Chain A
């Protein structure tokens, strides 16, 4: 793959994602003010010093946005990585073992998927203590059902190939077959799925925070910032729209990259389709 083959839309996406990660890593150096410093009037309009103005407690919105990138990216990425590992391991185990293990895992997965994700999260978060670890785990486990379904479908296609049979006849163990035979051959669609899940995790986390069930204040997080500033909207104060736009921009960037990955995957398979 050459860099020149990457379309312009995908480059926009990649640059956007990198920018967000730079903000997250170097937040204390980039942000002009502190995360929780009160600097002036409530909802003071934007000026040269405060590019996006101040929020509902008089904190600098730009600085909180940069710090918020930390929480949002860290939690979304953590949840995606865990959900992915969980979904892939379980689905590949099911596809390789077949029989009872496959049946039990798949039926349980169907059951989990028959409840809408947001509703399930609301029900579960109603009883669990509110902290970061719980939040990441709940997001990860709920999302892993989607990964499981795709992973199983993809792995089943590969598991019946001759080279897997050859490996089985060689006497390789299940772990070898999963990680050395099936995983490398399913990497391309899985990579696109990873991006898709990441975009979903960003939106899902923001939605939970917006509903007051995600990241707890005073830590800055983009969904929570919308919630904090939403009452200003009626007075024509656009403070809530800035973090909302940041969420949307990041999700668009991830989706642009995913779109390119998906197109690459489908063109690898060949076929007449121009889908």
Chain B
């Protein structure tokens, strides 16, 4: 990159003058390429795999003629590239076609459900992030003493619990035994904000528990690796108080990894939503996708897959960009 012969090129000069902007633009471009590749993978991969909706749909009565009829009706007899271009073009305009199973517009369904899912995930994040970072710091502060060990064992247990088990455990105790929460978590358009919050209390608690342990353990590791570095030892040896050492030396360096941890776990949260929605019968994207997968309703599966992947890629990109902004060293690779 720093070949002197190239120094005269305008592109390189721009990069040198605004390294931050150039890096962020590069990362944005990479995400767009990635998303494009993912769309090919989701659409093309499904074409390449064996298994056909028409044959599954017809079951025993799949005569060649009937299969051909269904394929023509759904437009499956046209070449893959034409269908892909059409699908992607429409998807960019926000049109994901019609569901094979229910003949409804996929976009309409998704418009309702995406908001519900993001509401649930966002609310869980608001609770989980400060809690996880706080517990991680607490655990580092008491490292290798009783509170740290208790937190460590509990978080190890929490990581090992499947989402649906936590969900049913909460339902069993809080909704059935004590009756202080509602199940199933139905939400509809006319609900007030407070009613909504009440309805999603248990799903939110489940998501928080699922993501909290991961986030806390990663935060702890990130802070510990900073605390055990040479400059923290120097700060300690030159007689700096623990508080000042943490504020002036540790915090700026721990910020980037912590931001990264948070963003990564938010991406994880988006996936965790799928199972939690099924457990709590919550009308979100995850429930929609799982239902579509069981009946092999491809337009819905493709649309949901693409949207989940897009959110995931977006959050990972935000993680990278924030890390670049927070850590000056990443602005000058090598």
A residues with CB within 8 A of B: 9, 110-111, 114-120, 122-129, 199, 203, 206-207, 210-213, 223, 226, 230, 233-236, 238, 240-241, 244-245, 247-248, 251-252, 254-256, 259, 271-275
B142 within 8 A of A: no
Closest CB of chain A to B232's CB: distance in Å?
Answer: 10
Closest 10 A/B residue pairs (Cβ): A244-B165, A251-B160, A273-B228, A127-B51, A252-B160, A116-B271, A123-B305, A126-B293, A119-B308, A275-B224
Binary contact track B108-125/A, C-beta < 8 Å → 1, others 0: 000000000000000000
B15 within 8 A of A: no
Q: Name the interface residues of B203-259: CB closer than 8 Å to any CB of A.
A: 221, 224-225, 228, 233
Chain B residue nearest to A240 in the complex (CB): B168
Q: Give Cα distance in the complex from A245 to B168, angstroms.
A: 11
A274–B162 contact, CB under 8 A?
A: no
B169–A207 contact, CB under 8 A?
A: no
Q: Give Cα distance in the complex from A245 to B228, angstroms.
A: 38
Q: Give Cα distance in the complex from A210 to B161, angstroms.
A: 14
B261 within 8 A of A: no
Q: Which of B42-50, B70-78, B81-89 contacts A (4 or more CB under 8 A)?
A: B42-50
Q: Give Cα distance in the complex from A117 to B169, angstroms.
A: 25
List chain B residues, Cβ under 8 A from A256.
Answer: 156
B290–A122 contact, CB under 8 A?
A: yes
List chain A residues, Cβ under 8 A from B159.
Answer: 251, 255
Query: Can you show 11 pairs from A to B with CB atoms below 8 A apart?
Result: A9-B153, A114-B38, A117-B271, A127-B49, A129-B51, A210-B275, A211-B274, A248-B165, A255-B160, A271-B228, A274-B224
List chain A residues, Cβ under 8 A from B296.
Answer: 126-127
A126–B270 contact, CB under 8 A?
A: no
If over half of A's interface residues share one DSSP class (helix, strand or loop), that class is named, otherwise mixed; here it is helix
Q: Name the interface residues of B146-173: CB closer than 8 Å to any CB of A.
A: 153, 156-157, 159-165, 168-169, 171-172
Q: Give Cα distance in the complex from A207 to B233, angstroms.
A: 45
Q: Give Cα distance in the complex from A210 to B279, angstroms.
A: 9
B169–A244 contact, CB under 8 A?
A: yes
A274–B168 contact, CB under 8 A?
A: no
List chain A residues, Cβ under 8 A from B37.
Answer: 111, 114
> Out of B228, B274, B293, which one reaches A272, CB within 8 Å?
B228
Q: Give Cα distance in the complex from A4 to B70, angstroms.
A: 67
Closest CB of chain B to A57's CB: distance in Å?
Answer: 19
Binary contact track B260-290/A, C-beta < 8 Å → 1, others 0: 0000000100110011001100000000011
Closest CB of chain B to A238's CB: distance in Å?
Answer: 6
B residues with CB within 8 A of A: 34, 37-38, 41-42, 45-46, 49-51, 143-144, 153, 156-157, 159-165, 168-169, 171-172, 175-177, 183, 221, 224-225, 228, 233, 267, 270-271, 274-275, 278-279, 289-290, 292-294, 296, 298, 301-302, 304-305, 308-309, 312-313, 316
- Which of A116, A247, A256 counts the most chain B CB atoms within 10 A? A116
Q: Known: A248-B165, A275-B228. Contact between A255 and B156, CB under 8 A?
A: yes
A211–B228 contact, CB under 8 A?
A: no
Q: Give Cα distance in the complex from A234 to B156, angstroms.
A: 29
Q: Give Cα distance in the complex from A230 to B171, angstroms.
A: 11
Q: Known: A241-B165, A248-B162. Contact between A274 and B49, CB under 8 A?
A: no
Closest CB of chain A to B267's CB: distance in Å?
Answer: 7
List chain A residues, Cβ under 8 A from B50.
Answer: 127-129
Closest CB of chain B to A247's CB: distance in Å?
Answer: 5
Q: Give Cα distance in the complex from A118 to B275, angstroms.
A: 10
Closest CB of chain A to B250's CB: distance in Å?
Answer: 14
A114–B312 contact, CB under 8 A?
A: yes
- Which of B233, B293, B301 counts the most chain A CB atoms within 10 A? B293
Chain A residue nearest to B156 in the complex (CB): A255
Q: Give Cα distance in the complex from A227 to B228, angstroms.
A: 46
Q: Give Cα distance in the complex from A195 to B233, angstroms.
A: 34
- Which of A206, A223, A248, A255 counts the most chain B CB atoms within 10 A? A248
List chain A residues, Cβ under 8 A from B279.
Answer: 230
Q: Give Cα distance in the complex from A116 to B121, angstroms.
A: 16
B165–A116 contact, CB under 8 A?
A: no
- Which of A118, A254, A256 counts the most chain B CB atoms within 10 A? A118
